[in-house]
Structure 1
Amino acid sequence: MDFIAGAIGGVCGVAVGYPLDTVKVKIQTEPKYTGIWHCVRDTYLRERVRGFYRGLLLPISTVSLVSSLSFGTYHNCLTRICRFRYGSADAKPARTDITLSGFASGLVRVFLTSPTEVAKVRLQTQTQTQMQAQMQQRRRSSASWPSAVPPMCPAPPASQVPGPKYRGPLHCLATVAREEGLRGLYKGSSALLLREGHSFATYFLSYSILSEWLTPAGHSQPDVLGVLLAGGCAGVLAWAVATPMDVIKTRLQVDGQGQQRYRGLLHCVVTSVREEGPRVLFKGLTLNCCRAFPVNMVVFVGYEAALRLTRGLFK
């Protein structure tokens, strides 16, 4: 039942938060953006509304499986811990039990989410990467002409302008696998492991604590408003913890589309901090938190509603 409820909650969350996720990725990978609204305005002017939904198909098609696995792993891990420590699966878990179960659910996600994240990030940043490559090509072409003699050849026809490298999520995955091998699909997975593990431990622990605080006297569970508030706050806290590794993960996954800059996780951290200062590790933090609140409100309301419905059907 937790697997089904988790799948429903995950799909609801992606539908709400994807446009802001696109903006977050662009801010983290492209230094030219001075803030959220600058990125939003530039994306809209260049790509219109479609630009905010690049790479959506793959997350939507896989998020139900990933979210189902995450919530299901958390619940089953917590059940086993309670049975082992207290002799009953229905015993009230300690906060340590919840933290360990949340950590485990985050680690399990990585094996499924890493290829999806690679495809999503590359599709989200494809336009800016292509434009940079075209600008470099123009500079090289102009530099090859003698300064005293201006080039007289006509501009190439529109049909010769290279199109996007990736035609869609599946084409992106196939291209990365062909050009970079299996390692390419798991680029940045070390940072993703660090991000998911402690962020999901924070996520489930904070939701459990807040739900307990917001449960009315004489009730065993919070009402809908309590679930909304607890879910939103849990999402904000989880992303506050996750953002530094999210920045590194994103940069590692985009790296290599041209010249490779980073040799690994530690080199990416050191290089990014040296070039842009410690604040670079918190790029997109405000946006992550703004996105996390409504997304996780929807996730937990969908999860709790689906859980109660399935429990009622299977009684």
Structure 2
Amino acid sequence: MHGTTNRGECNPSFRFAVRVYKAVACAIVASGMSTFAGYPLDSLKSRLQTIKHPISVPTLAVLVYREEGVRGFYRGLWIPLVTITFVRAASFTIYSGTKDNLRDARILHRNTLYDTSLLGGLGGALAGSLISFGSAPFELVKVRRQLEYSIAAAKGLQINRPPTTLQAVRDIVKTRGLLGLYTGFKLHFVRDTSGTALYFMEYDGMRHMLGRLPSGEQGPTPPWLPIHSSLVPFVCGSLSGVTSWALIYPMDVVKTKVQQRALAGEKYRGVIETLTRLIRGPDPQNPKPLVAGIGRLYRGLGVSAVRSITTHGLLWTIFDLVSNYIDRLPVR
């Protein structure tokens, strides 16, 4: 096989390449596997965000299965499987490079919780903001694929056979032009910048608290959480994924709703109007109770939390496993 010798050992040129681009290699492998594992939950999350009446996750899952089969849970998978994998590879590269450059410049270089967390947050913010320009069109198409049936219903149409991903792209460009692929971009940009900053800040802070050494290797865990060192990446990845996502979740709900209405050709509503209608309902003379409205903003958070635990826990676990494997490769 290419990249290996007859003895099953890695080719020197291959070893050199994966060492130089270690963050990219780790991110590609980890992201691909974690994205595939969590995609059905992401599909259910998008549907829960846009339906008008509350419904339980199991009931929705049964309805999707009855109407669309197993494929319904994986509709639009290939776009995020490919794009999220490479987006995360670029994100990890920017995040790691930003931290290295700031440390080399003697900025936030101390091995303290404050410096470590803030360094991760800055690297995450830069990564999230830059990557959003490339990821926004792909996420819009993903939302379109996941919500094909509700978008068709809003147009008064009935779907016999859902369009392919390429057909969905063509339809968006045909009806809204090339810039239509950036529908809802402002919300996407703010969500990704703030969410990625929070995510990496929390992850690096938690890894520091749980005994990660300055070299990047995992040291002994503290007495207050005596877990096996192999579980640390999963615990930190899960917690940082869930908490950062919960903080920006209302923004994601508004973004998805704005994009759904635009794709369905319905009258445009701004962010404030969309948020207000989600919280208080469509009738200003008979507003919904505030608690119920806020609950509407967090509809689907439960399934999102399970998805975050699954994907981000697996992401960092596999990332660390691949990283350790690369570090153990012989120099020659």
The two structures have a TM-score, normalised by structure 1, of: 0.83
Mapping of 1:15-34 within 5 angstroms? 15-34=36-55
Range 2-11 or range 214-223, more displaced = 214-223
Query: Is the 8 Å Cα contact of residues 102 and 201 (structure 1) preserved in structure 2?
Result: yes
For 1:240 and 1:314, how far apart are their aligned partners in 2? 42
1:152 aligned residue? none
Cα deviation for residue 196 of structure 1 reads: 1.2
Deviation per CA, 1:162-201: give whole Å up to 9, x if none.
644x622222122212210122111111111121112111
Q: What SS does structure 2 have at the residue aligned with 1:34? A: coil
Deviation per CA, 1:114-170: give whole Å up to 9, x if none.
11111111111112333454xx47xxxxxxxxxxxxxxxxxxxxxxx7644x62222
- Structure 1 residues 68 and 253: CA distance shift in structure 2, 3 A: same
1:211 corresponds to 2:217: no
For 1:268 and 1:87, how far apart are their aligned partners in 2? 40
Picking from 168, 187, 190, the partner of 2:164 is 168
Unmatched runs of 5 consecutive residues or more in structure 2? 1-21, 220-228, 282-287
For 2:38 and 2:274, how far apart are their aligned partners in 1? 27
Query: Is the 8 Å Cα contact of residues 243 and 284 (structure 1) preserved in structure 2?
Result: no
- Structure 1 residues 87 and 237: CA distance shift in structure 2, 3 A: closer
- Structure 1 residues 306 and 274: CA distance shift in structure 2, 3 A: same
1:126 corresponds to 2:148: yes
1:37 corresponds to 2:34: no
Cα deviation for residue 28 of structure 1 reads: 0.4
1:76 aligned residue? 97
- Structure 1 residues 102 and 49: CA distance shift in structure 2, 3 A: same
For 1:274 and 1:33, how far apart are their aligned partners in 2? 15
Give identity over the alignment, percent.
Answer: 25
1:286 aligned residue? 302
For 1:260 and 1:186, how far apart are their aligned partners in 2? 17
1:110 aligned residue? 132
- Structure 1 residues 15 and 188: CA distance shift in structure 2, 3 A: same
1:302 corresponds to 2:318: yes
Q: What SS does structure 1 have at the residue aligned with 2:218? A: coil
**AA of the residue aligned to 1:299:** L
Picking from 38, 46, 69, the partner of 1:48 is 69
Unmatched runs of 5 consecutive residues or more in structure 1? 138-160
For 1:46 and 1:7, how far apart are their aligned partners in 2? 33
Range 24-33 or range 277-286, more displaced = 277-286
For 1:61 and 1:94, how far apart are their aligned partners in 2? 31
- Structure 1 residues 76 and 168: CA distance shift in structure 2, 3 A: same
For 2:263 and 2:197, how far apart are their aligned partners in 1? 33
- Structure 1 residues 106 and 217: CA distance shift in structure 2, 3 A: closer
1:11 corresponds to 2:32: yes
Cα deviation for residue 246 of structure 1 reads: 0.9
For 2:213 and 2:249, how far apart are their aligned partners in 1? 36
Deviation per CA, 1:193-230: give whole Å up to 9, x if none.
12111211121121112222333899941522111111
Aligned CA RMSD, in angstroms, stands at 2.6
For 2:212 and 2:140, how far apart are their aligned partners in 1? 43
For 1:245 and 1:65, how far apart are their aligned partners in 2? 24
1:263 aligned residue? 269
Cα deviation for residue 259 of structure 1 reads: 4.0
Picking from 221, 230, 233, the partner of 2:218 is 221
